[in-house]
Amino acid sequence: MPDPELHHAAIWVKLKNTQVLFDCGEGTAGQMLSNSISGEVIDAIIITHFHPDHLCGIYMVLQMLYLQQRKKKLDIFLPERVKEFNFILEYHYLFLQKFTYPVNLWIMDDITARYPEITALQTDHLTSYRDIVNGSDLRNEMKSYALMIKESDKQVLYSSDIIGTEFLEQYLPDLDLLIIDALHPQAEDILGLTNSAGTRIILNHGMSPKLEEIFRTNTISLEKARENEEIII
């Protein structure tokens, strides 16, 4: 749900030699300007899934980089339907051949080969659409991913949108930071993650009413995501 105080998903990740954007929700271009993130420094944009709150900002980011006369190559990793994404760019009159910078569109499976610090973990977020997709013979692949970063001895996991939290448990003990969707999973499942390992957990993507209530009335060690917050690991 749009919110006058909050922007949609977009996380800027600055590694030693690489800078990427995880997701590109509405308003990402403006937020990059507000946070003095030069478009020139971004090596890749990684879209975890094709819900609008994770994708819709990419068109203005691509246009901004063009207007800023970016020269450096940009990699874009997509969860599914890469060829069709190029049609969507054309639909928006975003012609890659007119850009000042080369754009490479990749399928998510290629992420680790190109960016060894990053691993994509497929999640269950879109599987509830199966009846619609199969019933209407649609081409949606229902792919959605969490993203893991490993660099030096540090590990961060961004869940993006998920339903179940079980898959996180195997990674949690080794994580320095977990950025988790606090809207879709059961509140109890998210709270259950706090029992382990002392990993810093940041609640992202809004919050379910039940978790909001628990958060308001109890002292718990989870942190609420804040706009423009910079976290150094």
The binding site for Zn ion (CB under 5 A) comprises 51, 53, 161
In the complex with Zn ion, which residue's Cβ is closer, 51 or 143?
51
Minimum CB separation of residue 56 from Zn ion in Å reads: 11
- Give CA angle at 47 (41, 53), nearest 5°: 110
Within 8 A by CB and 6+ apart from 174, the residues are 155
CB of 230 to Zn ion, least distance (A): 22
Nearest distance from residue 152's CB to Zn ion, in Å? 30
Q: Which is nearer to Zn ion, 174 or 189 (CB)?
A: 189
Instruction: State the Cα angle at 79 between 164 and 202, rounded to 5°.
Output: 45
* Closer residue to Zn ion, CB minimum distance, 51 or 70: 51
* Minimum distance of Zn ion from residue 147's CB (angstroms): 14
* Pairwise CA distance, residues 202 & 157, whole Å: 10
- In the bound state with Zn ion, the residue whose beta carbon lies nearer, of 59 and 158, is 158
Q: Considering only CA atoms, which of 37, 19, 97 is closest in space to residue 228?
A: 37
What does the alpha-carbon distance between residue 167 and residue 186 come to, in Å, rounded to a whole number? 14
